[in-house]
Structure 1
Amino acid sequence: MTDRLVLSQSDRAMLDGAEGEAAALAMRILSRAAAVMGATELIDVTRAHIDGCLYHGRASLDFVDRLVGAGGRVRIPTTLNVGSLDLIHPELFRGDAALGTAGRRLMEAHLALGCEPTFTCAPYQHHHRPGLGEQIAWAESNAIVFANSVLGARTNRYGDFVDLCAALTGRAPHAGLHVAANRFGQAVFELPDPAVVGVGHDIYFALAGLVVGGATGAAIPVLTGLPADSTEDELKALGAAAASAGAVALFHAVGVTPEAPSLAAALGDRAPQRTVRVAPAELLAMRRRLSAAQSGERLSAVCLGTPHFSEAEFDTLGRLLDAHPGPLRCDFYVNTSRFVLQALERSGRLAALQARGVQLVTDTCTYITPILRQVGGVAMTNSGKWAHYAPANIGVRVAYGSMAECVASALRGTVVFDD
Structure 2
Amino acid sequence: MRLTAEEQKMLDGAYGETVKRSMKVLVALGEIYGADHMIEIKNVHSPGVSYRVAGNAGLGYVEDASKDATFRVPLTLNTIGIDAQDWEKIGFPEEFARKQLELSEAYERMGAIPTNSCTPYLNGNLPMFGEHVAWGESSAVAFVNSVIGARTNREGGPTALAAAITGRVPAYGYHLDENRKGTHLIRVEMELKTDKDFAVLGYFGGKLAGKDVPVIEGITRRPTLENFKALGAALASAGAVALYHVVGFTPEAPTRQAVIGDDVEPVIFDQAAYDKVCAKFSLKGNVDFVVLGCPHVSIVEFEEIANLVRGKKLKSALWVCTSRMVRDLADRMGFVKDIEDAGGEIVCDTCPVLCATLTQRGYKTVATNSGKMAHYAPGLWKLQPVLLNTWECIQTAIDGKWGE
Same topology, TM > 0.5: yes
Q: How many residues align?
A: 401
Deviation at residue 104 of structure 1 after TM alignment: 2.3
Partner of 2:28: 32
Between 134-143 and 213-222, the greater mean CA deviation after superposition: 213-222
Question: In structure 2, how many angstroms separate the alpha carbons of the residues matched to 1:99 and 1:264?
Answer: 51
Compared CA separation, residues 372 and 124, structure 1 to 2 (3 A): farther
Partner of 2:152: 155
> What is the aligned counterpart of 2:346 among 360, 367, 373?
360
Secondary structure at 1:143's aligned position in 2?
A: helix
Partner of 1:321: 309
Partner of 1:247: 240
Q: Does structure 1 residue 282 correspond to structure 2 residue 256?
A: no
Letter in 2 for 1:147: V
Q: Is 1:84–1:104's contact at 8 Å kept on the other side of the alignment?
A: no
Compared CA separation, residues 207 and 375, structure 1 to 2 (3 A): farther
Question: In structure 2, how many angstroms separate the alpha carbons of the residues matched to 1:59 and 1:240?
Answer: 28
Secondary structure at 1:84's aligned position in 2?
A: coil
Q: Does structure 1 residue 223 correspond to structure 2 residue 219?
A: no
> What is the aligned counterpart of 2:366 among 379, 393, 414?
379
Secondary structure at 1:319's aligned position in 2?
A: helix
Q: Is 2:206–2:235's contact at 8 Å kept on the other side of the alignment?
A: yes
Question: In structure 1, how many angstroms separate the alpha carbons of the residues matched to 2:220 and 2:88?
Answer: 42
Deviation at residue 373 of structure 1 after TM alignment: 6.2
Q: Output one character per residue of 1:340-388: Cα deviation in whole Å (capped at 9) or x when no partner.
A: 0111122232222222222111111123322476343222111110110
Partner of 1:139: 136
Q: Does structure 1 residue 50 correspond to structure 2 residue 38?
A: no
Question: In structure 2, how many angstroms separate the alpha carbons of the residues matched to 1:374 and 1:288?
Answer: 27
Partner of 2:102: 105
Q: Output one character per residue of 1:289-323: Cα deviation in whole Å (capped at 9) or x when no partner.
A: 022x21xx12212111000000111122123224x
Secondary structure at 1:306's aligned position in 2?
A: coil
Between 386-395 and 203-212, the greater mean CA deviation after superposition: 386-395
Between 204-213 and 392-401, the greater mean CA deviation after superposition: 392-401
Secondary structure at 1:261's aligned position in 2?
A: coil
Secondary structure at 2:295's aligned position in 1?
A: strand
Matches within 5 A, 1:17-416: 17-55=13-51, 56=53, 57-69=55-67, 71-92=68-89, 94-194=91-191, 201-267=194-260, 270-291=261-282, 293-294=283-284, 297-322=285-310, 325-369=311-355, 370-371=357-358, 374-416=361-403
Secondary structure at 1:303's aligned position in 2?
A: strand
Question: In structure 2, how many angstroms separate the alpha carbons of the residues matched to 1:155 and 1:280?
Answer: 34
Question: In structure 2, how many angstroms separate the alpha carbons of the residues matched to 1:352 and 1:96?
Answer: 28
Question: In structure 2, how many angstroms separate the alpha carbons of the residues matched to 1:22 and 1:164?
Answer: 10
Q: Output one character per residue of 1:181-227: Cα deviation in whole Å (capped at 9) or x when no partner.
A: 221112110122226xxxx6121100100110011134311001223
Q: Is 2:80–2:116's contact at 8 Å kept on the other side of the alignment?
A: yes
Letter in 1 for 2:81: S
Q: Output one character per residue of 1:63-99: Cα deviation in whole Å (capped at 9) or x when no partner.
A: 2122113x11111110000111110211255454433
Q: Is 2:314–2:343's contact at 8 Å kept on the other side of the alignment?
A: yes
Q: Is 1:375–1:395's contact at 8 Å kept on the other side of the alignment?
A: no
Q: Is 2:246–2:253's contact at 8 Å kept on the other side of the alignment?
A: yes
Question: In structure 2, how many angstroms separate the alpha carbons of the residues matched to 1:356 and 1:373?
Answer: 23
Compared CA separation, residues 126 and 103, structure 1 to 2 (3 A): closer
Q: Is 1:228–1:256's contact at 8 Å kept on the other side of the alignment?
A: no
Compared CA separation, residues 83 and 290, structure 1 to 2 (3 A): same
Question: In structure 2, how many angstroms separate the alpha carbons of the residues matched to 1:272 and 1:250?
Answer: 21
Question: In structure 1, how many angstroms separate the alpha carbons of the residues matched to 2:220 and 2:342?
Answer: 33
Question: In structure 2, how many angstroms separate the alpha carbons of the residues matched to 1:279 and 1:219?
Answer: 21
Letter in 2 for 1:306: C
Letter in 2 for 1:223: I
Secondary structure at 1:128's aligned position in 2?
A: coil
Question: In structure 1, how many angstroms separate the alpha carbons of the residues matched to 2:387 and 2:271?
Answer: 17
| TM superposition score normalised by structure 1 | 0.92
Deviation at residue 129 of structure 1 after TM alignment: 0.6
Deviation at residue 285 of structure 1 after TM alignment: 1.2
Query: Identity percentage over the alignment?
Result: 35
Question: What's the Cα RMSD here?
Answer: 1.7
Give structure 1 regions of 4+ aligned residues with deviation exceeding 6 angstroms: none
Q: Output one character per residue of 1:141-167: Cα deviation in whole Å (capped at 9) or x when no partner.
A: 001000000001100111120011000
Question: In structure 1, how many angstroms separate the alpha carbons of the residues matched to 2:336 and 2:146?
Answer: 31
Secondary structure at 1:308's aligned position in 2?
A: coil
Letter in 2 for 1:62: G
Letter in 1 for 2:5: Q
Secondary structure at 1:339's aligned position in 2?
A: helix
Q: Is 1:223–1:253's contact at 8 Å kept on the other side of the alignment?
A: yes
Deviation at residue 273 of structure 1 after TM alignment: 4.6
| TM superposition score normalised by structure 2 | 0.95
Structure 1 stretches lacking a partner, 5+ long: none
